[in-house]
Amino acid sequence: MKRGWLAVALLATVALTGCGGSDGNGGDKPAGGKTIALFLPESKTTRYEAFDKPLFEAKLKALCADCKLLYFNADQDAAKQQSQVESALTQGANVLVLDAVDAAAVAPLVNQAKQKKVPVIAYDRLISGIDYEYYVSFNNVRVGEMQGQALLDALNAKGTTSKGQIVAIHGAPTDPSSADYKSGAHKVLDGKVQFGREYDTPDWSPDKAQEQMEQAITAIGRDKIVGVLSANDGMAGGAIAAMKRAGFNPLPPITGQDAELAAVQRILAGEQYMTIYLDIRAEAEKAAELAVALSKGEKPSAPTTVDNKTAKIPSFLLDPIPVTADKVKGTIIKDGFYKASEICVNEFKAACEKYGIS
C-alpha cells in the first residue's frame, strides 16, 4: 500500500462514469458501461464502510469509469440481502460481488444469477452449495493460526500458560470464515492451553461479546482467566470492557483482527495484545479487477482453488499479517492504513512516543 490511498478511495462515488479499463496489452478496452453490484454484510465491523466499499469503488472507477456501481449493505439481515440481490438483478447487474450474510444459505441467490448468466464473485466469505466464478479472501485458517500462536507466545512470556484458563470468543456461526479462524486457532492451542469457555458470537457483535465475557468471568472466576482469544477487534473491545468492569488489572493478553483504529490504540496502550492486519486494499482491488474482467467476458486464471463442498472455486487468497505494538510502525503506519496523527491523539500520545511513532 502507498501512503494516501485511503484519501483517494474516499473520493469515489457510487455512480461511476467515464472511460474503460486496460485490455492487458497496454491499451484501453471499454467494458461497455456494465453494471457491477457490490453486497457487503454489515456495518458493525468498521472495515466494510470505511475501507472495503470506498476501495472497491475507487479501483472500479480507475479500471472502468464507464461502469456503474450498485452498492448494498445488508445490516446483518439475510432476508434484506436477498431482496438486495434480487433488486440488483432486476436493475440489470452484469456481475455480482457478494459478501454473504449467511454464506451457507445464499446458493439460491447465486442460482438466480446463474440463470440470468450473471457471474458471481464470493467476496471475503466462501459461499457453499453451488459453483460460481471466483472467491477472493484471505487465508482464514492461517489467520486463526496466527491468533493462536500470538496468544500462546504471550502466555509463555508471562509464564501463565498452565496457570489458568483462556476464553475463546469466535465469530458469527453464519460466517464460514469464522469456522476457519476457530480451526486454525485450535490447531495451535489444543493440548497447550485449557479452554475455560468458548462462544460463537452472532453478528460478530461487540455487545454480545461483552456479555459472553461477563458470563465467562462469572463461571470461571476473574483470577483464573489468563488469556482471551478474540476473533476480531470489535469483539475484543467488548471483552476488554467486560474485564475492566470486573476489575482486571492488568488485563490478560487478548487477540483481534482487522486493525481497527481503536484496537491499534489499545495495542499501543497495552490493553490488547495483537491484531491481524488484513490488506483490505488488495482484497477490494482484486475483486474489482475480476468484476471488470468478467463484465468484458474475460475470465483470468486464479492461483489456487478452494473446495466449497460442491465445486473447486478459483480463488485468490491473500496473506494476513500479525501485528503487536512493536510492529505497528512498520506495517499499519508504513502502509498508510492509518496516519500517526490519527492514532496518536490525547491519552495515546505517550504510547506512540514509546514505540517511536510520531
Judge whether residue 29 has pLDDT over 60: no
Shared domain check, 203 and 329:
yes
What pLDDT, on the 0 to 100 scale, is given for residue 358? Answer: 87
DSSP annotation of 15 = S
Judge whether residue 30 has pLDDT over 90: no
Q: Residue 48: pLDDT band by 50, 70, 90 thresholds?
A: very high
Judge whether residue 22 has pLDDT over 70: no
Partners of 305 in beta bridges: 314
Residue 247 CA: distances (Å) to CA of 243, 244, 254, 348: 6, 5, 16, 22
| Spatial distance between the Cα atoms of 48 and 45, rounded to a whole number of angstroms | 7
Shared domain check, 331 and 209:
yes
| Spatial distance between the Cα atoms of 235 and 255, rounded to a whole number of angstroms | 10
- 321-350 tens-digit pLDDT: 999 999 999 999 998 899 999 999 999 999
Shared domain check, 190 and 158:
yes
Contact 239, 264 (CB under 8 A): no
Q: What is the mean pLDDT of residues 82-107?
A: 97
Shared domain check, 187 and 56:
no
- 101-121 tens-digit pLDDT: 999 999 999 999 999 999 999
Shared domain check, 292 and 246:
no
What pLDDT, on the 0 to 100 scale, is given for residue 14? Answer: 39
Shared domain check, 249 and 306:
no
Q: Residue 300 sits in a domain of what CATH number?
A: 3.40.50.2300
- 280-320 tens-digit pLDDT: 999 999 999 999 999 999 999 999 999 999 999 999 999 99
Residue 98 CA: distances (Å) to CA of 29, 74, 121, 136, 297: 25, 11, 6, 10, 19
Q: Strands 275-277, 194-200: parallel, antiparallel or unpaired by DSSP?
A: unpaired
What pLDDT, on the 0 to 100 scale, is given for residue 46? Answer: 87
> Cα-Cα-Cα-Cα dihedral of 100, 101, 104, 105, to 10°?
-100
Q: What is the mean pLDDT of residues 156-168?
A: 97
For the chain, how big is the Rg over CA atoms in Å?
21
In the chain, % of residues over pLDDT 90: 89
> Cα-Cα-Cα-Cα dihedral of 274, 276, 279, 280, to 10°?
-110
Shared domain check, 134 and 58:
yes
Shared domain check, 123 and 233:
no
Q: Residue 1: pLDDT band by 50, 70, 90 thresholds?
A: very low
| Spatial distance between the Cα atoms of 215 and 248, rounded to a whole number of angstroms | 15
DSSP annotation of 286 = H
Q: What is the mean pLDDT of residues 276-283?
A: 94
| Spatial distance between the Cα atoms of 248 and 242, rounded to a whole number of angstroms | 9
Judge whether residue 244 has pLDDT over 90: yes
Shared domain check, 234 and 350:
yes
For every residue of 27-64, DSSP letters joined together read SEE---S-EEEEEE--SSSTHIIIIIHHHHHHHHHHH-
**DSSP H or E stretch at residue 158:** helix 140-158
Residue 253: other Cβ atoms inside 10 A: 23
Shared domain check, 287 and 165:
no
Q: Which domain holds residue 10?
A: 5-138+278-319
Q: Is 206 helix (H, G, I), strand (E, B) or coil?
A: helix
In the chain, % of residues over pLDDT 70: 91
For every residue of 60-121, DSSP letters joined together read HHHH-TTSEEEEEE-TT-HHHHHHHHHHHHHTT-SEEEE--SSTTS-HHHHHHHHHTT--EE
Shared domain check, 108 and 133:
yes
Ranges 14-23, 40-49, 306-315, most confident: 306-315
Question: What is the end-to-end Cα distance of the chain in Å, rounded?
Answer: 20
Judge whether residue 222 has pLDDT over 80: yes
What pLDDT, on the 0 to 100 scale, is given for residue 41? Answer: 97
Count of the separate structural domains present in the chain: 2
**In sequence order, which residues have a C-beta less than 8 Å from that of residue 182 and are 6 or more positions away?**
144, 168, 170, 171, 231
Residue 42 CA: distances (Å) to CA of 39, 72, 215, 262, 355: 9, 10, 26, 19, 34
Residue 275 CA: distances (Å) to CA of 230, 258, 329, 354: 9, 7, 14, 19
Shared domain check, 60 and 192:
no
Q: ω before 250 within 30° of 0 (cis)?
A: yes
**In sequence order, which residues have a C-beta less than 8 Å from that of residue 177 and are 6 or more positions away?**
124, 125, 126, 137, 140, 171
